[in-house]
Amino acid sequence: MNQLQTMWSISRRKSLINCPRQYILRYSRSQRFSKNTQNIINFSLNDLVIRSSRKVIHERLEDFKNGLEWSEKMISLKIRLGVKEEISTERYSAIRNSSNLKNLIHSAKNRINSLWNTNIFRRIISGQIKQWSCMDRKKFLSNGHIDIFCSPDISYKIQKRWHLLRIDFQGELRNPSDELESLAMVNWAKKNNFLPYVNSQYIVNTLKFINGKWIHNRYLPTDDLLQQSKQLLEKDVNEMNKLVGKMGPLLNLALIPLSNNRYTCKKCSFKPSCPAKNGLRISKLEQNAIEYNNAKINFESNG
C-alpha cells in the first residue's frame, strides 16, 4: 500500500520540485520508520557532508560558548566523523580515502569558515549579540495532519526582537517561494514555549550559500504571509501524496517524472539505478512514450 505523506521540510520540498523521482526514492517510504531515524534515507556523499557540516556549525558554536576554539584540523575531522556516523562501515571503508570525500570536506570547511565571517556570525562571536542559542532541527511542529520540520538553526535576540536564522549550504538563486518557505519558521517558533507568540516580535533571516558567497535575506512576518506559508505547506504535502498515488498499487516508479535539470542528476545518489544515467533527455522521451501507451491502454479498456 502507498504510504501517506505527512512530513514537510525544506529539503523534502526541494527534492519534490527538483526531481519527483528523487523525492519518491528518498522520502516517500521513510515515514514508517522513527521520525528521528534518517539512516534509511539514501543520501549522496555531497548531502552527507552538508548534513555533517550543519552539525559541526552547532557544535563549534556550543564549544565557543564554553570558551573552546576549534583549529582548522578539528573542523575537517568533525565533518569526516559526522559522515562516518551516518553510513555503514562498508560504505565508509569504500570512500574513506577517496579524493571526492577529501575535496567535499575541504570545501565544506571553507564554507564554514566563510560563514564565521558573515556579519551575523561576527556579531555573535564578538559578543555584540548576547542572547542566542542553537536549535534542534529534528524538533518538529505538528499541525494535526502534517509534521513540519522547519526549525531555525539559530535564534538570537537583538533589542526586543527575536531573529530566526536558517543556514542553507545549497541555496538556489531564484526561488519564488523563498519568503513563504522561510516564514514557516515563525509558525514553528510560536509553538515553542521559550519564544514569543506575537508575529511582530520576529525577524526571519536566511543565509544561503550561492555561487561561492553567503547571501543574507530578511523577512518580516505578517498574519497574511504566515497564512500563505501554511497554505504552501498544505499544497506541497498534497502534491507529495498525488505523486505517491501516481505510482499505483504496484509502486511503478516508471510513471514518476524525472528531473528537468541535468545538474540535479549530477549530484544525485540514485543516478546509477535511474533511467537518466544514460542521458536525461532520452529517458524523458522514453517516459513520455510509456505514459502515452498507458493512457492508450486505459482508454481502450474503458471504451
Q: Please, what is the minimum distance in Å from the beta carbon of residue 127 to ligand SF4? A: 44
Amino acid type, 237: V
Count of residues that interact with ligand SF4, criterion CB under 6 A = 12
118, 213 contact by CB (below 8 A):
no
Chain length of the chain: 303
267 versus 296: smaller Cβ distance to ligand SF4: 267
12 binds ligand SF4 (CB under 6 A): no
Q: Based on CB atoms, which residue is closest to ligand SF4, 19 or 237?
A: 19
Q: Of 239-258, which residues contact ligand SF4 (CB under 6 A)?
A: 258
Q: Which is nearer to ligand SF4, 248 or 279 (CB)?
A: 279
Q: Is 270 in the site for ligand SF4 (CB under 6 A)?
A: yes
> Which residues on adjacent β-strands are paired with residue 158?
161
Tell me, residue by residue from 49 to 88, as one string, x for binding to ligand SF4 by CB under 6 A and - for no binding: ----------------------------------------
Q: Among 22, 151, 229, 287, which residue sits at the site for ligand SF4 (rule: CB under 6 A)?
A: 22
Phi, psi of 166 (to 5 degrees): -115, 135
Residue nearer to ligand SF4 on the CB measure, 20 or 152: 20
CB 162 → ligand SF4: shortest distance, Å?
A: 37
CA angle 296, 297, 300 (to 5 degrees): 85
Binding residue for ligand SF4, selected from 19, 75, 105, 148, defined by CB under 6 A: 19
Does residue 268 touch ligand SF4 according to CB under 6 A?
Answer: yes
Which residues are CB-contacts of 24 (< 8 A; sequence separation ≥ 6)? 243, 244, 247, 253, 256
Q: How far is the CB of 49 from ligand SF4 (least distance, A)?
A: 18
Q: Which residues bind ligand SF4 (CB under 6 A)?
A: 19, 21-22, 258-259, 264-265, 268, 270-271, 274, 276
